[in-house]
A and B are shown apart, each in its own frame.
Chain A
């Protein structure tokens, strides 16, 4: 049951909504001694493995953390340059975590626009009359499904290749979009959808796909919605800013966290 992400693309090809629901990341953390037997290079503000594959570390993987502390692009958490730090034998032995780099927001924007164009080219190169654009793109690690509405909005879902029922999920997302975005009087068409309903995750409820949303929270002690002794009380485990209960858009009922 794995939906990796959801993208909503407007008529012009701009990304207006993006949701990463579940990301299985293959990561490998290992301790290295000087000299490093992997070749690292700087690419796109990230330090990537250019050559050298061992123990789950592949070419194209990025340096995610050094000695347990997450790196910030090309700089370590302390502000030193990663390549300089790893070039200095005094810093070894060092424990480095490698993994597939996460997409930045800019990259997601670019990929969404790229898909918008590929969708149109797929329709132009069709050997048959009246073809739509790319509706399903298959690879060995994921399947991308796309639904284009009559108004030109595209809903794109990345899922596990064996996942079924994505067509109904796409229609459902379209319904939720028209209910929450289009019927919102303050929403401008084709503009990015601000998460006015707070965080959302895609899930399965009552035999159908649905979007779980949480109301946007305010800072400070919040009522978590837990009922203790018949009254709403701030319950200590949930004193954090994260609301514990989520609203299911399908049955419109609060679900226990």
Chain B
């Protein structure tokens, strides 16, 4: 049970933050391209899900899984998207992603007058707090398993 990586996107598709912990395979394309591909995939999945759904949706798309990893998704009403790739054994972690947004991103980046919004987050405090928070999660194991 482990966390592979984390992406943070804003409403325009700019990747605000990316970090990885246990990633075994790179995408084979440059990082910028990978962020754009990830954002495009999530945008398409959201539109796909809203068309396919038989009933009116409240939370929308939550997660998807493949044979090797699970992608968890959380979107705020302002368009900030928190995306976390984990192992298959991890259950719903919507509250974790919400905490990353509200207690870390909003507190340390949005409320910081020196952090320009709409660009990649450079804040060292945000990086270290996020890293220690993710490492403290119950489903994160230091040994990549």
Q: Are A125 and B34 in contact (CB under 8 A)?
A: yes
The size bracket of the interface on A is 35 or more
Q: Are B63 and A125 in contact (CB under 8 A)?
A: no
Output the nearest chain B residue to A158 by Cβ-Cβ distance: B52
Residues of chain B contacted by A58 (CB below 8 angstroms): 56
Residues of chain A contacted by B44 (CB below 8 angstroms): 114, 117-118
Q: Are A139 and B53 in contact (CB under 8 A)?
A: yes
Using A115-B48, A137-B45 as known contacts, say yes or no to A127 and B69 having CB atoms under 8 A apart: yes
Q: Mark B66-106, 1 if CB is under 8 A from A, else 0.
A: 11110100000000000001000000000000000000000
Query: Quick check: is B25 within 8 A (CB to CB) of the other chain?
Result: yes
The size bracket of the interface on B is 35 or more
A-B pairs, top 8 by smallest CB distance, nearest first, are: A131-B68, A127-B4, A132-B67, A128-B68, A137-B64, A127-B23, A140-B59, A141-B55
The residue that B52 contacts in the complex, of A26, A134, A136, A142, with Cβ under 8 A, is A142
Q: Which residues of B contact A (CB under 8 A)?
A: 4-5, 20, 22-25, 27-28, 34, 37-38, 41, 44-45, 48-69, 71, 85
Q: Mark A4-23, 1 if CB is under 8 A from B, else 0.
A: 10000000000000000001
Residues of chain A contacted by B27 (CB below 8 angstroms): 124-125
Q: Are A121 and B41 in contact (CB under 8 A)?
A: yes
Using A115-B48, A126-B25, A127-B85 as known contacts, say yes or no to A139 and B60 having CB atoms under 8 A apart: yes
Distance in angstroms between the alpha carbons of A158 and B53 in the assembled complex: 9
Q: Are A137 and B41 in contact (CB under 8 A)?
A: no
Distance in angstroms between the alpha carbons of A128 and B88 in the assembled complex: 11
Q: Which residues of A contact B (CB under 8 A)?
A: 4, 23-26, 58, 60, 100, 103, 107, 111, 114-115, 117-118, 121-142, 144, 158
Output the nearest chain B residue to A127 by Cβ-Cβ distance: B4
Residues of chain B contacted by A140 (CB below 8 angstroms): 57-60, 62
Q: Are B68 and A141 in contact (CB under 8 A)?
A: no
Q: Are B53 and A141 in contact (CB under 8 A)?
A: yes
Distance in angstroms between the alpha carbons of A106 and B28 in the assembled complex: 34
Q: Are A132 and B59 in contact (CB under 8 A)?
A: no
Q: Are A129 and B45 in contact (CB under 8 A)?
A: no
Known: A133-B66, A141-B56. 19 other contacts (CB 8 A): A25-B54, A60-B50, A100-B54, A100-B55, A103-B52, A107-B51, A111-B52, A118-B41, A122-B71, A125-B27, A126-B66, A128-B69, A131-B68, A131-B69, A134-B66, A135-B67, A137-B45, A139-B49, A139-B53
Residues of chain B contacted by A127 (CB below 8 angstroms): 4-5, 20, 22-25, 69, 85
